[in-house]
Chains A and B, each alone.
Chain A
Amino acid sequence: MREMLTQAMDLQALKEKARSLRLDTLEITTHARSGHPSSCFSSVEMVTALYFGGILRYRSDDPHWPERDRFIMSKGHAAPLLYAALAHAGYFDREELWRLRQINSPVEGHPVQDRLPGIETTTGSLGKGLSVGLGHVLGGRLNKLNYRVYVLLGDGECEEGQIWEAAMAAAHFKADNLIAIVDYNKYQETGPISREMALEPFAEKWRAFGWHVEEVDGHDIQALIEKLKAVQEVKGQPSVIIAHTIKGKGVSFVEADYTFHGRALTPEQAERAREEILCK
């Protein structure tokens, strides 16, 4: 059993793990010459905290273990980050990552359920993951299991109506083991969210739908772990952690240019990005 991996790493090790995941995401999207690296970079610390910070209970050699906590990558374009985390957690060989977006490979451009062990549900059309997570909550109740369900949402994704259908229903069903985390990097594909389709007042929207709301610096691993542990104590309502992040986090020229959404770095850009990630 590889359940040892669910033991929390110390903070320094977590920072190193985050660096590895960011680097792998860079390398495989550059290798594939396509993908959404900037959307992965903003979520790296959240995924690190979940898989390696002692939050998720999982067995990487038994991906369908009924008692596992679920992690659903609802912002499916961050698939490379999900794959990197799963590989580092031992679900499959890390070499597989370099088959991203290649023909005859299970490493799809967006996650397809069970094509790789550990992918809980198919995403890539936005807005589906929170509902699927709620299905796992209701199924867990019938099966009398006490796992938690974590769903990582994009901020632009929250423009989808189905998110709010699920938000309404999760509060109705008092799904206190459902935890949404929003990667609030403030940009969608076309530009700043505030300009394209404003989400604010964002926290108030979730509260109005009956959710417990926390906000956090989405790149502070320790703070993320504290919030993730704190919301485990919330009873009778679902929780959302609004994680304030920087799109392209960790690579200065990607942070400065939102048009990197949906675009891989060139080999030359990747070289500079690699240096920055390794130096920080």
Chain B
Amino acid sequence: MQVGEKAGLKPAKPLRDVFGEALLELCRDNPRVVVLDGDLSNTTKTAAVRHEFPERFFNIGLAECNMVSIGAGLADCGFIPFITSMSAFLLCIAYDPLRISIAIAGLNVKVVGSHGGITLGKDGPTAMAIEDFALMGGLPTFVIVVPSDPASMHKAVHATAEHVGPVYLRSSRTAMPHIYPENHCPFEIGKANVVRQGRDLTIIGCGLMVAAALDAAAMLAEEGIEARVLDMHTLRPMDTEAIAAAARETGTIVTAEEHLLHGGMGSNIARVVAATHPVPMHFVGLANTYTESGEPYALLEKYGLTAQDIVVAAHEAVAAKG
């Protein structure tokens, strides 16, 4: 089964393709945007920018640290650098320059990590970014944005450029089905979208897990359980109002993310819930493990990131309401 099929969502092209299109549009609109590449433009889908705007595209080669600090220098010159590579390599190799050259002074640099999560599949655990939310969470000036479908990726790329300050944007190899009508996605940094109304519990997802949450909500509806679903497309600043309202109005929360539970979206939502309106919570994500090579959907199943896993968590969450 495809993610989103149960909820009746239309399939879409891979999210990285959408990112590439949105970035090209942005470069056409804004002459201050420059793109830095770690020799992965065919993978991250920035190659079209290289072709159309060669003077604003820099392949820095396989030197992620150098690329990040060069980006800082370009930002100092008034440009809006989009630093692009595979997330696992970019963040893990270049964490120190991200912190020193960009984060501490809060420079206007955009970091795009492609191949977030485990659904890149066959390249295996070395290429999978399952810790990017936690890593970027450790750089306190960064906004963290996680689009969930083509329309939200388009909006996110433009919002990322408009925001003055450092932003991390997660892109993915996988195809995320359409959550929103094309070009009709509300997108405000720091404001979660309610994509399904419900009173019995709230499922909060990001990225691919928004579609999985809608699948789960469709399955729960067949049992008479009505789930509210939130697309938490910004992990920082986090929409504390939407989280507190979900806790208050639905009484229990399930979170779902293609990321480690430790230091991920769910644990940060739990902080907000504990401080505003404590309610029972359950968490769907990767529990202290690296995964393996495989077909994307088979990996989601084996490591507990499917709609069925969300349904199980939802049952426990609803039961815990008492």
Contacts and interface: CB of A to CB of B under 8 A. Distances in A.
Interface of A: 66, 112-114, 120-125, 127-129, 131-140, 142-143, 161-162, 165-166, 168-169, 172
A179 B166 CA distance: 28
B93 to A, nearest CB: 10
Nearest to B56: A142
Contact of B97 (A124, A128, A134): A128
Contacts of B71: 135
A168 B60 CA distance: 10
Interface in B28-66: 34, 55-56, 58, 60-61, 63, 65-66
Given A122-B100, A131-B97, A162-B65, 11 more contacts: A114-B105, A121-B105, A122-B101, A124-B100, A128-B69, A129-B69, A135-B72, A138-B58, A139-B74, A166-B70, A169-B70
B96 interface: yes
7 contacts: A120-B76, A124-B100, A128-B101, A139-B73, A162-B69, A165-B66, A166-B66
Nearest to A136: B73
A139 B72 contact: no
Interface string B67-95: 01111111111110000000000000000
Interface string B128-164: 0000000000000000000000000000000000000
A135 B100 contact: no
Nearest to B61: A169
Contacts of A139: 73-74, 76-79
A252 B273 CA distance: 62
B99 interface: yes
Sort A-B residue pairs by CB-CB distance and give the 3 closest, nearest first: A135-B73, A139-B77, A131-B69
A140 B100 contact: no
A170 to B, nearest CB: 9
Contacts of A132: 69-70, 72-73, 76, 101
Nearest to A141: B55
A169 B66 CA distance: 8
A142 B35 CA distance: 13
A121 B107 CA distance: 10
Given A122-B104, A132-B70, A142 B77 contact: yes
A136 B77 contact: yes
Contacts of A112: 104-105
Contacts of B65: 127, 131, 161-162, 165
* Chain B, interface SS category: helix
What class of interface size applies to chain B in its complex with A?
20 to 34
Given A113-B104, A120-B76, A125 B99 contact: yes
A166 B79 CA distance: 20
A135 B77 contact: yes
A125 B68 CA distance: 14
Interface string B94-117: 001101110011010000000000
B58 A128 contact: no
Contacts of B56: 142
B78 A143 contact: yes
Nearest to A166: B66
B215 to A, nearest CB: 44
Contacts of B75: 135
Nearest to B34: A142
A124 B99 CA distance: 11
A66 B79 CA distance: 13
Nearest to B109: A135
B128 to A, nearest CB: 24
Contacts of B63: 162, 165, 168-169
A134 B100 contact: no
A2 B75 CA distance: 26
- For A132, A134, A143, which residue has the most chain B Cβ atoms within 10 angstroms? A132
A135 B69 contact: yes
Given A113-B104, A124-B100, A140 B69 contact: no
Contacts of A172: 61
Contacts of A124: 100
A166 B72 CA distance: 13
Nearest to B96: A125
Nearest to A120: B76
A272 to B, nearest CB: 36
Contacts of A140: 77
A123 B100 contact: yes
A118 to B, nearest CB: 13
Contacts of A138: 58, 70, 73-74
Contacts of A137: 73
Contacts of B77: 66, 135-136, 139-140, 142-143
